[in-house]
Structure 1
């Protein structure tokens, strides 16, 4: 019996001398959330690159890696049907990307949206010009929010309008 007691005391002494850094259980959630966001950013970037290569977009100077982490990115085809929406859109307005693909960006507008601003956006789109506007949009739950939009027409290698891309964030 004496040997077991000495052994247990030696183990206890050894563990007391260790400088072990422990993490509280609740920190695991933060880590999981970070990994989930990182995975979604990677998937979004892959989808964007795939759309760009399939449609032979002309090179641009957008820093998509940074923007995809900080802003919502929406891509429409030339007829203004949404073909891509980044995963982080859920944080801004409550919509999952799958809920908006195939729809028009007008789905985010409502009664209180300024018609003058909407008309200015429409004219810029018709003229195939970039624009920067702040619009009153509606969340999925019906609440309003100000959305800062920076949008650009995208042309393919033949010089034809291919898509529009919008970088959005809550203002």
Structure 2
């Protein structure tokens, strides 16, 4: 057998073996060779598995937001909102912009823990390079209780500057009680 992959495996395994043992192992491996799964199949499987995990995480996040929706009696169609949004981080604030919940994606994107973010406003992510005109537009949209999308410069916990696309939707029952922000890092 002259397949380099199998020979290198045999070299490692049989470096201390006798010639007759090596020949027997080569024959056994040659007989089992058709049963080896190609690496390409594994790549396809792993890609599918990753997609399944991401869908499971999104479903868990949706369920969490739906539990808030039930608690606060929001009239928004939360499921439709989720189906239309592409995001990494989720933030729910009260009407005064105090954070009441963030998802794990928030921590992955910013480096800040969930517990650190609670009861703060998302402004703690802003800094010197955050454009004042953008901040002013955001304040205006929030004051008017209107949905909006903006791109602003935020800072991660380690001080790294990043561009963040923020889509904010007011959540309401008789009046606006909370906001949900769908955020993702953009280039």
Query: How far apart are the structure 2 equivalents of 1:66 and 1:119?
Result: 26
1:167 and 2:186 aligned: no
Select the residue among 46, 55, 71 that pairs with 2:88: 71
Matched, 1:21 2:37: yes
Question: What TM-score comes out, normalization by structure 2 length?
Answer: 0.68
Distance 1:15 1:57, change over 3 A: farther
Residues of 1 paired with 2:140 and 2:122: CA distance?
A: 15
Report which of the two has the higher share of helix.
2
Q: Give secondary structure in 2 for the equivalent of 1:90.
A: helix
Which runs of no fewer than 5 residues in structure 2 stay unpaired? 1-23
Q: Max radius of gyration: which structure?
A: 2
- TM normalised by structure 1 equals 0.74
Aligned-residue Cα RMSD (Å) equals 3.2
Q: 1:121/1:66 Cα in 2 relative to 1: closer, same or farther (>3 Å)?
A: closer
Q: How does 1:75-90 map to 2 (within 5 A)?
A: 75-90=92-107
Is residue 130–residue 153 contact of structure 2 (8 Å, CA) maintained in 1?
yes
Q: Which runs of structure 2 are paired with 1:90-169 in the superposition (5 Å)?
A: 90-156=107-173, 159-169=174-184
Unaligned runs of 5+ in 1: 1-7
User: More displaced, 129-138 or 88-97?
Assistant: 88-97
2:72 to 33, 50, 55: 55
Aligned residues: 156
